[in-house]
């Protein structure tokens, strides 16, 4: 059985549609126009999809207008629900998109800028402006979706039922590989840990004697929140480091932890700013523990010895369960599952490209530790299976369930806004 993925229609359109000689308003939704050029640009894309097969051109136009109306109805929730997307958030997403685009093409930002000018006839500033509009709309749709339909968690039985019913509609993977890894975090030795803890105790002593919190945070915190006095905002319960949350459980509003708190990131002095029913707002002074060259050399030596010893899948899996510091994968033997080659992080791609099936990479430094990658299998094309891809199939199921719920809400919201269709053909 086939199903249709429900995606905001403007995401399917070309970013820069060809100009229309006879511009006009195709429809009005909640006082906002849908232009004829917008319809025609989306129509061109829609006509190249399997969904358009069997529909007359008139039906295709009607379908496109209907979907664009749905998008505008969704966006009409922005004012009604006071949804705000900051310029900083949009700018960060645009920059990340451009950086990822350059990385996937293995080119510099300067080369990317020249390609945009040559292929699209616009400057980087113009491209960023157009991209920012799309990103803002995407983020807005995401916020609306999260507010109204987020949080669906199907059971394993429901995921299995979804897979059996719709497996012929789930896209296939191409040029893919099955990977596993072991992460070995470089931990500082005890002398570094103790010296940073003692410094944290000195800062607490300064606070006890009346030193201003914001001054100390700006001067000493090694977190990005330092310039805001260490304020990291509100977080819901369960989203922060468990040790961090335990430490502030009994701290009064306005007070700070009487002793330094050790978390994955270092020693913390934590101040409680305020509480809500489902979360807490805190500020922190983070003091990181920087490993020495000797610490790094010790972990590299361990990684080298492991690479020599791990000659089979079972040995690699056993070692990952015992010593890998990646909590997201160590429980299942370090398996990263099946991924398409283009999905592999650009840092890892050169390493993976040199591996043969069954081979373990040389240790390489990334982030805060050394890593070993094992190429377990390769395929040019494959179908998702419940056995190997349960989490990805679960994501497909969640998206489908959310889409169905969202479609019902859009149907209801359409009755709450004025819709006028002017384009007849």
pLDDT digits (tens, 9 = 90+) for 217-258: 999 999 989 999 999 988 888 888 999 999 999 999 999 999
Q: Are 345 and 181 in contact (CB under 8 A)?
A: no
* CATH, residue 182: 3.10.50.40
Q: Tell me how far CA of residue 114 lies from CA of 129, 223, 388, in angstroms.
A: 17, 36, 42
Which stretches of the chain score pLDDT less than 70?
A: 1-23, 104, 424-425
In terms of domains, do 256 and 283 share one? no
Are 263 and 308 members of one domain? no
Residue 268 sits in the same domain as residue 335: no
Domain final residue pick, 217, 240, 274 = 274
Considering its fold, how many domains does the chain have in total? 2
Q: At what angle are helices 386-414 and 156-166 packed, to 10 degrees?
A: 90
Give the three-class secondary structure for 268: strand
Residue 283 and residue 323 in one domain: yes
Domain that holds residue 229: 172-274
Same domain for 270 and 300, yes or no, is no
CB 63 within 8 A of CB 9: no
Whole-number Å distance between alpha carbons of 376 and 283: 44
250 by Cβ neighbours in 10 Å (0-12 / 13-18 / 19+) ranks as exposed
Residue among 177, 115, 95, 98 nearest 349 (CA): 177
Give the pLDDT of residue 11: 41
For the chain, the distance separating the N- and C-terminal CA atoms, rounded to the nearest angstrom, is 33
- The pLDDT assigned to 357 comes to 93
Whole-number pLDDT of residue 86:
84
pTM of the model: 0.63
For residues 306 and 244, membership in a common domain is answered with no
Helix (H, G, I), strand (E, B), or coil: what is residue 291? coil
Q: Examine residue 52 and state whether it is found in any structural domain, yes or no.
A: no
Q: Is residue 294 part of a domain?
A: yes
Distance CA 378, CA 366 (A): 24
What Å distances lie between residue 423 and 45, 66, 68, 304, CA to CA? 19, 11, 13, 68
pLDDT digits (tens, 9 = 90+) for 251-307: 999 999 999 999 989 999 999 999 987 789 999 999 999 999 999 999 999 999 999
Q: Is residue 401 assigned to a domain? A: no
- The confidence score (pLDDT) of residue 1 equals 53
């Amino acid at each position: 059985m086939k199903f249709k993925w429900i995606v905001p229609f403007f995401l399917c359109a070309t970013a820069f549609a060809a100009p229309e000689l006879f511009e006009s308003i195709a429809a009005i939704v909640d006082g906002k126009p849908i232009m004829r050029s917008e319809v025609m640009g989306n129509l061109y894309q829609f006509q190249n999809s399997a969904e358009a097969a069997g529909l007359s051109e008139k039906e295709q136009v009607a379908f496109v207008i209907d979907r664009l109306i749905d998008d505008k109805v969704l966006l009409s929730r922005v004012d009604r629900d006071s949804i705000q997307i900051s310029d900083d958030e949009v700018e960060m997403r645009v920059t990340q998109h451009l950086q990822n685009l350059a990385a996937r093409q293995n080119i510099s930002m300067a080369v990317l800028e020249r390609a945009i000018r040559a292929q699209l006839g616009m400057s980087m500033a113009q491209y960023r402006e157009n991209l920012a509009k799309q990103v803002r709309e995407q983020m807005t749709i995401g916020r609306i979706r999260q507010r109204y339909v987020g949080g669906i968690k199907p059971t394993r039985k429901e995921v299995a039922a979804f897979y059996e019913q719709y497996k012929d509609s789930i896209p296939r993977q191409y040029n893919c590989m099955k990977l596993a890894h072991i992460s070995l975090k470089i931990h500082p030795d005890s002398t570094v840990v103790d010296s940073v803890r003692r410094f944290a105790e000195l800062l607490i002593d300064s606070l006890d004697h009346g030193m201003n919190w914001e001054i100390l945070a700006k001067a000493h915190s090694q977190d990005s929140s330092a310039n805001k006095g260490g304020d990291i905002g509100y977080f819901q319960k369960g989203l922060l480091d468990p040790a961090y949350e335990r430490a502030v459980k009994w701290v009064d509003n306005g007070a700070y932890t009487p002793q330094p708190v050790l978390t994955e990131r270092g020693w913390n002095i934590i101040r409680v700013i305020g509480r809500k029913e489902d979360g807490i707002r805190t500020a922190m002074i983070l003091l990181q523990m920087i490993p020495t060259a000797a610490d790094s050399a010790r972990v590299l030596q361990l990684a080298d010895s492991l690479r020599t010893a791990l000659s089979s899948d079972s040995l690699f899996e056993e070692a990952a369960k015992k010593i890998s510091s990646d909590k997201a994968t160590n429980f299942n033997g370090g398996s990263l599952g099946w991924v398409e080659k283009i999905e592999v992080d650009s840092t890892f791609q050169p390493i993976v490209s040199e591996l043969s099936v069954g081979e373990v990479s040389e240790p390489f430094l990334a982030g805060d530790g050394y890593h070993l990658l094992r190429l377990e299998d390769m395929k040019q094309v494959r179908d998702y299976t419940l056995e190997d891809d349960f989490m990805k199939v679960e994501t497909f199921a969640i998206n489908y369930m959310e889409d169905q719920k969202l479609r019902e809400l859009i149907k209801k919201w359409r009755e709450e806004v004025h819709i006028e269709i002017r384009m007849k053909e």
